[in-house]
Amino acid sequence: MLRRGLFITFEGPEGSGKTTHSKLLCEFLHKKGFKVLHTREPGGTLISEKIRKILLDPKNKGMGVGCEMLLYMAARAQIVKEKILPSLEQRKIVICDRFTDATLAYQGYAGGIDLKVIDNIASIVTKGLKPDITFLLDIDARLGLLRAGRSKDRMERKSVLYHNKVRSGYLDIARKESGRVKVISATAKIKDVQSVIRNFTLLTMSKV
């Protein structure tokens, strides 16, 4: 049992493999006997999954970036209150596929909303919660979009230029917060990427 809960997030452009890696890490820690919650954003609760459907529905192509940002935040407010904070209080390891960094990268760096405004709203909806570790799986935006496949959701349909800005936004966040964000090239073999993730997680856990 850990002395406190641990919050791990996975980030990256489309097609970076973060869902695969977050699930593999979850299985690994579960087998070691830790209590783990694996979840995703937007989603993870009944209400947040409904908001996810609105956000990703290609029919909502007229959605403005302000509406988009506030819906992501609304989904986040609910999952933080309903799932993430209670699980951390029970000293679980929470692994979340995307979190506030995604809003900074997508709606901030790529969408043009002031990063300070996003930070302020995020600190209200998350009650100041920050991940202990963030794995940023980095990949060329065009390659990632190809990997993501053909049936594209509303966000994946945005231009390559937009997705390039998402990628460089993520890398900028990693530069500013190098203690928290670990950048890993997503083009290496799954086994090798996963081994870096596991070792880094175990090292952090030994300090908690």
| CB nearer ligand TMP, residue 74 or residue 205 | 74
Amino acid occupying residue 29: L
- DSSP type of residue 82: I
Q: How far is the CB of 25 from ligand TMP (least distance, A)?
A: 16
Q: Which is nearer to ligand TMP, 21 or 98 (CB)?
A: 98
Closest to ligand TMP by CB, 35 vs 154, is 154
Residue from 24, 21, 26, 25 nearest 36 by CA = 26
133, 168, 56, 17: CA torsion to nearest 10: -50
> Cβ of residue 203: shortest distance to ligand TMP, in angstroms?
26
Q: In the bound complex, what is the minimum distance in angstroms from residue 153's beta carbon to ligand TMP? A: 7
Judged by DSSP in three states, 179 sits in: coil
- Residue whose CB is less far from ligand TMP, 35 or 81: 81
Shortest Å, Cβ 170 to ligand TMP: 11
Which residues here bind ligand TMP, judged by CB under 6 A? 14, 40-42, 72, 97-98, 102-103, 106-107, 155-156
Please answer whether residues 9 and 76 qualify as being in contact, where contact means their C-beta atoms are separated by less than 8 angstroms: no
Instruction: Outline where 15-103 has alpha helix (H).
Output: 18-31, 46-56, 65-79, 85-89, 100-103
Q: Are 106 and 64 in contact (CB under 8 A)?
A: no
